[in-house]
Amino acid sequence: MPKNGAPTRTRILDAAEALVIDHGYAATSVDDVIAASASSKGAFFHHFASKQALADALVERYVAADLEMLDSGLAAARAAGPDPAVRAVAFLDHFVGLADGLMGEQSGCLYAAVLTERQLLTSQTSAPIATAIRAWRDGFAALLREALPAGSPIDVDDLADHVFVTFEGAFLLARSTEDPSHLRRQLGVLRALVETALAAGPQEERR
Amino acid sequence: MPKNGAPTRTRILDAAEALVIDHGYAATSVDDVIAASASSKGAFFHHFASKQALADALVERYVAADLEMLDSGLAAARAAGPDPAVRAVAFLDHFVGLADGLMGEQSGCLYAAVLTERQLLTSQTSAPIATAIRAWRDGFAALLREALPAGSPIDVDDLADHVFVTFEGAFLLARSTEDPSHLRRQLGVLRALVETALAAGPQEERR
DNA sequence: TCCATAACAGACTATTTAGTCTGTTTTGTA
DNA sequence: TACAAAACAGACTAAATAGTCTGTTATGGA
């Protein structure tokens, strides 16, 4: 029996992730997670010291996957050619293409669930999320810095943060309207707006 | 004593709103609300039949205030002059101006708290939120329809929804970074992007 | 001037919840 | 081939939680 506990741990994490994204952390009881993962009290507290430790592990795994998704976008941008504006738009296009697939699996984001509950904000559980947000900003800002016309009134870091803002806002919009296509549509809006902003010539040459 | 229970009811709603926005609905106990509002079990269940009924009243009041804020933006747009593009940008400018004030009072949005918990989504509590989102979309879309250049690839409804998306995304960003200025900054980004998109001539005349 | 009732106050209860504790079953390993 | 320990299984517990119930008090209308 003690050959390998990893599959059980993964089953618990999978069930907990789905439940927390859908119901929220406080509204998800340990017994709910146990039932959904077909495990037991013993199994749960063998793998996680507390419900808090589950939250930590959940966020850690989710952030790792998120950073991989960021990297795939940065790779797509580099593969789009040498032009900075084309690269920046390709970065956004990459996620427009992924959007429907992301919403198919589970129609929500763990970040939103964690960030709306103070008990998770104060307990270092959310610290990796702040790191991920920073990575998305820095990654896209590097692409934008070379692409934005000189004299643009738009702050590069703020525009880079707008990718995260669009993701999270679109997840909430999709939940309220029960229309999962909103993630793709909102990322498409951002793509179109950024493309126009990058196409606009240097501000001082506008007539 | 039974002169008027409205002040007590308001105190309970005020305390509950702050707690739910900060901690989430499930993480806020009725006893927490009672303590924060300096009332009692008797007072609470005299004014609200259940915790669920509190959530309903909370959302109803919040939506009413939100729709008033929308109207103030539409009024500001009309007051900005006859030019459709100027009006649309003035609408966004209005909220850029309000942003820091909104974050000062309480650094979060009830919508995000409600939309992340399934139990509130299934119980009609969140229905007024969907109505409010629709009102924001329709209100801003009407302004945009006249202002967007012919042949723009951007869907008017989706761009209109992006205001809600920016608000909610920015609230989450602000909570993660503990920097309340993000609401103003992200609304500023949206304003600048929309201004550029509206300034871009009709798509078929671009060279 | 009553007195029905709105507006509370607070003890009490049934259920839920996170976490504990005692066992049991397999292994990898000495 | 013992055997220490990982990997569970599940009964049990103390605290928290939503909601109830019995009072009490002060009005405003008949």
Interface test with A, best of B189, B203, B206, B207 (most A CBs within 10 A): B189
Q: For residue B88, which phi and psi values (nearest 5 degrees)? A: -60, -45
Write out the two tokens for A98.
Answer: 């992924």
A113:B112 CB<8 A? no
A24:B117 CB<8 A? yes
Contacts of A173 (CB under 8 A, 6+ apart): A182, A186, B133, B161, B164, B165, B168
User: In chain B, what residues touch A192 (CB-CB under 8 Å)?
Assistant: 152-154, 197
A165:B159 CB<8 A? no
Does B32 reach chain A within 8 Å, measured CB to CB? no
Nearest to B108 by CA among B22, B19, B27: B22
Predicted pLDDT at B105: 81
Write out the two tokens for A10.
Answer: 């993964």
Q: For residue B107, what pLDDT band results from cuts at 50, 70 and 90? A: confident
Lowest pLDDT segment from A37-46, A61-70, B144-153, B173-182: B144-153
User: In chain B, what residues touch A194 (CB-CB under 8 Å)?
Assistant: 193
The answer to whether the beta carbons of residues A104 and A48 sit under 8 Å apart is no
Which residue reads 């951002």 in tokens? A190
Write out the two tokens for B196.
Answer: 């550029």
Interface test with B, best of A52, A189, A203 (most B CBs within 10 A): A189
pLDDT over threshold 60, residue B202: no
Residue count (chain B): 207
Does B159 reach chain A within 8 Å, measured CB to CB? yes
Does B162 reach chain A within 8 Å, measured CB to CB? yes
Predicted pLDDT at B151: 86
The answer to whether the beta carbons of residues B173 and A165 sit under 8 Å apart is yes
Domains of chain B: 1-48 (1.10.10.60), 50-199 (1.10.357.10)
Residue A124 CA and nucleotide D5 C1' are separated, in Å, by: 32
B112:A111 CB<8 A? no
Within the 84-123 window of chain B, which residues sit less than 8 Å (CB to CB) from chain A?
A: 108, 111-113, 115-119, 121
What digits encode the pLDDT tens for the residues B159-170?
A: 999 999 999 999
Size of interface A-B (CB pairs under 8 A): 171
More confident residue, B203 or B53: B53
Predicted pLDDT at A107: 86
d(CA A52, CA A37): 18
Task: Tell me the C-alpha to C-alpha distance, in Å, between residue B144 and each of A20, A115, B2, B137, B195.
Answer: 37, 32, 51, 10, 11
DSSP state for residue B202 in the 8-state scheme: P
A193:B22 CB<8 A? no
d(CA B95, CA B167): 10
What digits encode the pLDDT tens for the residues B4-30?
A: 878 999 999 999 999 999 999 999 999
Nucleotides of C under 7 A from a protein CB: 5-12, 16-23, 25-28
Pick the residue from chain A with its C-alpha nearest to B177: A130
DSSP state for residue A27 in the 8-state scheme: T
Predicted pLDDT at A2: 59
Q: For residue B197, what pLDDT band results from cuts at 50, 70 and 90? A: very high
Q: Please report, as a single letter, which amino acid is at residue B38.
A: A
Pick the residue from chain A with its C-alpha nearest to B128: A176
Digitized pLDDT (tens) for each residue of chain A, 207 residues in all: 557 878 999 999 999 999 999 999 999 999 999 999 999 999 999 999 999 999 999 999 999 999 999 999 999 999 999 999 999 999 999 999 999 999 988 889 999 999 999 999 998 999 999 999 999 999 999 999 999 988 899 999 999 999 999 999 999 999 999 999 999 999 999 999 999 999 975 554 443
Does B190 reach chain A within 8 Å, measured CB to CB? yes
d(CA B127, CA B130): 5
